[in-house]
Amino acid sequence: MSRAESPTPAGTVARTVALAVAGLVLVLFTAAVLLSQIFAAVSAASVFTPVWRAIGTVGALVTGSDPAPVDVATGSDLTWAWQFHAGALVIGVVAGLGWGALAVRSGTRGAAGVDRAARVLRAIACAVLAVAMLLYGLAKVIPAQMGHMNLPAYQLQAVGDTEPFSLLWGYMAASTPYTVVTGAIELTAGLLLVVPRTRLAGALLSVVALTQIVLLNLFYDVPVKLLAAELLVIALVLVFPYRGELVRAVLPATASPARRTGTVAAAVLAVVLIAATVAGNLARVDTMNTPRDPRDGVWRATALTIDGAPALATGDAGPVWTSIAITLRGTADRPAKGSAQDSLVTQTPDGAVTAWGLRADGDRFTVRRGAGAAPVDLQVTTVPDGLRLCGTVDGRRLDARYERRSLERHHDIRFVQAPFDRTRPRL
């Protein structure tokens, strides 16, 4: 190393601090959590639990919180994991400062030792990323990770009550081919990382896959945000040394006058297209999300009579609509179209639902089961406690009262998750 290339003492200390913190998190959290998942049958987590608890105790002292119990099976976002990271930061900074001071005192030999440590840590990071991509890729190629949403325990949950995490899992489980394809992408990234010659391609593919995973975990509140983010950071670190070549490959240094003119024209067209599309989409979103009628919403029955008798006394024959959903969005002169069009959805005691096309004229609702079906006229009025619905359906006279049903899906993003109760399914 030439004199011009020699790092400054401050640079050496900063590097050792970064390596110490990154090493603690990489080896004792990211790698350890993955190993505990792979070797769950032999209780690998029990091997790391004392270390997690000890470092987490330091983090709890620093943050002024009580040490949380270690629970690696629930996810990476529990209190103990954040306490571990706080403790690893403190311990890593202290150890890194001491290591940096020794390296500066040792001169060239110390700098060489820091370089060796960086190379070792990079190799470990590559191995950890490869293992993670192979582990989660295989769990999708062989659809085991998200298949639980097809179990009977999850079939009765209303969509409006389903937490975002389960919605995502159900969306993936609903299409096995899509799950397999996403797993194949992750598996390919892991295999490419194993071979030195294709390692950059594997890291780039990992960046793409993990960016999507981090966004899904964040906005669907999946409790492994921390672990996924760390894997994405690893992939970015592996790509970083090649940033110059990648930028030059994507953005050529020179362009001909004709190409520059074409670029300007394309940019103008893109701006016009984007402006028109944004305006249209904003109007559509506003129309779709604006109820234009107080009867819009989800309702549950409080009283049902069929031909003048309580629904249960009729043997549940006829239109026993225990729940209804009325969609009336937009404005009177511009009702919503598409998936938010005017509609009535009815649900019977067995959970079956029927979608009806709806034309509303004051209190009169004209509904149809399909384009060729006969129209049914209903009288739907607001009452002090909710709705009253009257009409003749399939030759049976329905008179029902409904109250608004509040749906329980949460919309917040929780970076610190509560422990999961394993005595019941996660709905």
Dump the DSSP string for 92-157.
Answer: HHHHHHHHHHHHHHHTHHHHHHHHHHHHHHHHHHHHHHHHHHHHHHHHHHTT-SSGGGGSGGGSS-
Identify each DSSP E strand in 265-352 by its residue range: 297-306, 309-310, 323-327, 343-347
Which position has the higher pLDDT, 90 or 255? Answer: 90
Residue burial 179-201, b: 16+ Cβ < 10 Å; e: rest: beebbebbbbbbbbbeeeeebbe
- Please tell me the distance from the alpha carbon of residue 2 to that of residue 4, in angstroms, as a whole number: 5
- Please tell me the distance from the alpha carbon of residue 287 to that of residue 329, in angstroms, as a whole number: 6
Least confident range from 48-62, 101-115, 229-243, 413-427: namely 413-427
pLDDT by residue (tens digit) across 357-412? Answer: 999 999 999 999 988 889 999 999 999 989 999 999 999 999 999 999 988 777 77
Which position has the higher pLDDT, 337 or 82? Answer: 82
- Which residues are paired to 305 by β-bridges? 310, 399
Please give the pLDDT value at position 1.
45
- Is the pLDDT assigned to residue 14 strictly greater than 80? yes
Cα atoms found within 13 Å of the Cα of residue 364, Cβ hemisphere only: 5
CA-closest candidate to residue 306, choices 398, 228, 179, 413: 398
Please give the pLDDT value at position 42.
54
- Is the pLDDT assigned to residue 341 strictly greater than 60? yes
Domain ranges in the chain? 9-249, 297-404
Q: Are 321 and 353 in contact (CB under 8 A)?
A: no
- Please tell me the distance from the alpha carbon of residue 402 to that of residue 301, in angstroms, as a whole number: 4
pLDDT band at 427 (very low <50, low <70, confident <90, very high): low
CA 79-409-155 angle, to 5 degrees, is 105
- Please tell me the distance from the alpha carbon of residue 111 to that of residue 18, in angstroms, as a whole number: 14
Question: Once rounded to an integer, what is the mean pLDDT over residues 181-206?
Answer: 96
Taking phi over 0 as left and psi of -120 to 50 as alpha, with beta for the rest, 394 belongs to left
Assigned token pair, 249: 């490959």
φ/ψ (deg, to 5) at 268: -65, -45
Question: Once rounded to an integer, what is the mean pLDDT over residues 25-51?
Answer: 83
Least confident range from 38-47, 222-231, 364-373, 396-405: namely 38-47
- Please tell me the distance from the alpha carbon of residue 210 to that of residue 38, in angstroms, as a whole number: 20
Instruction: Kindly state the helix (H) or strand (E) to which residue 400 belongs, with its residue range.
Output: strand 396-404
pLDDT by residue (tens digit) across 79-136? Answer: 999 999 999 999 999 999 999 999 999 888 888 999 999 999 999 999 999 999 999 9
What residues contact 307, with CB distance under 8 A and at least 6 apart? 314, 318, 396, 397
Q: Are 219 and 242 in contact (CB under 8 A)?
A: no
What residues contact 278, with CB distance under 8 A and at least 6 apart? none
CA-closest candidate to residue 323, choices 363, 283, 356, 352: 352
pLDDT by residue (tens digit) across 257-275? Answer: 777 787 888 999 999 999 9
Please give the pLDDT value at position 44.
62
- Is the pLDDT assigned to residue 252 strictly greater than 90? no
Assigned token pair, 296: 């819009």
Amino acid at the residue 180:
V
To the nearest whole percent, how much of the chain has pLDDT over 70? 93
pTM of the shown model: 0.85
pLDDT band at 294 (very low <50, low <70, confident <90, very high): very high
- Is the pLDDT assigned to residue 3 strictly greater than 50? no
- Please tell me the distance from the alpha carbon of residue 112 to that of residue 406, in angstroms, as a whole number: 64
Least confident range from 133-142, 257-266, 308-317: namely 308-317
SS3 417: strand
Residue burial 151-167, b: 16+ Cβ < 10 Å; e: rest: eeebeebbeeebbbbbb
Mean pLDDT of the chain: 89
Other C-beta atoms lying within 10 Å of the C-beta of residue 234: 25
Cα 42 vs. chain centroid, distance in angstroms? 30
